Amino acid sequence: MFGKADLRRQADPIVSLMQHPPFTALAAVYDAIMADVEYDHWLDFVLTYARDGGLEPRTALDLACGTGGFTRELHAAGLAVTGLDGSAEMLLSARQRLPSVPFVQGDLRTFELGQRFDLVTCVFDSLNNLLSTQDLGAAFGQMYAHLNAGGLLACDLNTRLGVRELWEGDSIEGVVTAEDGGEVHYHWSHHYDPQEELGVVQAFCRVMNEGEGVQEFVETHKERGYDPAEVAALLHGAGFSRFEIVEYPDFAEPTPDTPRIWVLAWRDA
């Protein structure tokens, strides 16, 4: 689409020049590219489960909140929500979108907010960016520590299959319009590294603004897949004794062909 050499070749000086750390340059165009994400349906899914379990959450912590897409849905539903993310650039966009919502920069493995919440969320396979079971277990531990008694953790993860077979054809591309009117061309390619057991996404974007010329950048994102048995063991280790691992949107039990799972875990009194 762009006439570029294979973006996987990190030795290419052009690619190296365009390389940015994950979730930095992408923040400016993230919402335009992700405009079709059904955050509202995900919230209905979570709140239905919570209410069926006797919880009417009033406070929420949205982890790996990014630019605030899911945070906005929590806020619109009337919850007093706090957002947390590791990227200063993504949080800048989130604060512009939701100026009345508190946002905190922090690491999923180590954050300490000094308060607890009825609901803790972490959506859109954000936890797959944690590349070891030790890191994921640490994150679950912090989530448990920040839940009120009777509170609910709701998060999703790509399975090992989901990371291996992320997209049909191993790429996605398109053209969208950013909020400032700029035209964003994107081409994201995926490959799986069997030795490291990691999925690698090269996210190339070309942003064209009238009077400002053309900007191009590449970000490299890595994900590790986690299967239900691994997740269950880590939840137990973090202190959760009551949880379900299900499929979206029907709460069905995962199968070996399930690409993404949802975790719904309670902190008992």
The confidence score (pLDDT) of residue 45 equals 98
Bridge-based pairing state of the strands 183-193 and 117-122? unpaired
Is 95 in the same domain as 111? Answer: yes
pLDDT band at residue 14, thresholds of 50, 70 and 90? very low
The confidence score (pLDDT) of residue 3 equals 43
The confidence score (pLDDT) of residue 1 equals 44
Beta bridge partners of 122: 155
In a domain, 4, yes or no: no
Q: Tell me the per-residue pLDDT of 23-67, one tens digit each, with 9 for 90 and over.
A: 999 999 999 999 999 999 999 999 999 999 999 999 999 999 999
Q: Tell me the per-residue pLDDT of 149-183, one tens digit each, with 9 for 90 and over.
A: 999 999 999 999 999 999 989 999 999 998 888 89
Is 70 in the same domain as 173? Answer: no
In a domain, 5, yes or no: no
Beta bridge partners of 246: 262
Q: Tell me the per-residue pLDDT of 201-256, one tens digit each, with 9 for 90 and over.
A: 999 999 998 777 899 999 999 999 999 999 999 999 999 999 999 999 999 999 99
The confidence score (pLDDT) of residue 12 equals 52
Is 111 in the same domain as 80? Answer: yes
Is 132 in the same domain as 190? Answer: no
Is 148 in the same domain as 68? Answer: yes
CATH of residue 237:
3.40.50.150
In a domain, 169, yes or no: yes
Domain total of the chain: 2
Residue 148, C-beta contacts closer than 8 angstroms, at least 6 positions apart = 59, 116, 117, 118, 267
In a domain, 139, yes or no: yes
Do residues 63 and 143 lie in contact, with contact meaning Cβ atoms separated by under 8 Å? yes
In a domain, 189, yes or no: yes
In a domain, 100, yes or no: yes
Rounded-to-integer distance, Cα 55 and Cα 68, Å: 24
Neighbours of 177 (CB within 10 A): 12
Is 79 in the same domain as 169? Answer: no
**What would the DSSP string read from start to end of 162-205?**
HHHT-SGGGEEEEEEE-TTS-EEEEEEEEEEETTTTEEEEEEEE
Least confident among 4-18, 129-143, 158-172, 241-255 = 4-18
Say whether pLDDT at 10 is over 60: no
Rounded-to-integer distance, Cα 242 and Cα 236, Å: 9
Is 19 in the same domain as 43? Answer: no
Is 233 in the same domain as 136? Answer: yes
In a domain, 8, yes or no: no
Arithmetic mean of pLDDT, 66-76:
98
Q: Tell me the per-residue pLDDT of 96-117, one tens digit each, with 9 for 90 and over.
A: 999 999 999 999 999 999 999 9
Bridge-based pairing state of the strands 117-122 and 147-158? parallel
In a domain, 3, yes or no: no
Domain of 242? 39-159+226-266
Q: What are the angstrom distances between the C-alpha of 50 and each of 10, 44, 153, 250, 268?
A: 45, 10, 10, 14, 14
Q: What are the angstrom distances between the C-alpha of 49 and each of 27, 234, 249?
A: 31, 22, 11
Do residues 71 and 62 lie in contact, with contact meaning Cβ atoms separated by under 8 Å? yes
Apex 261 CA angle, 260 and 263, nearest 5: 150
**What would the DSSP string read from start to end of 98-163?**
-TTS-EEE--TTT---S--EEEEEE-TTGGGGS-SHHHHHHHHHHHHHTEEEEEEEEEEEE-HHHH
User: For the whole model, what pTM was predicted?
Assistant: 0.93
Is 197 in the same domain as 96? Answer: no
Apex 35 CA angle, 31 and 41, nearest 5: 115
Is 197 in the same domain as 120? Answer: no
Is 130 in the same domain as 247? Answer: yes
Is 103 in the same domain as 53? Answer: yes
pLDDT band at residue 17, thresholds of 50, 70 and 90? low
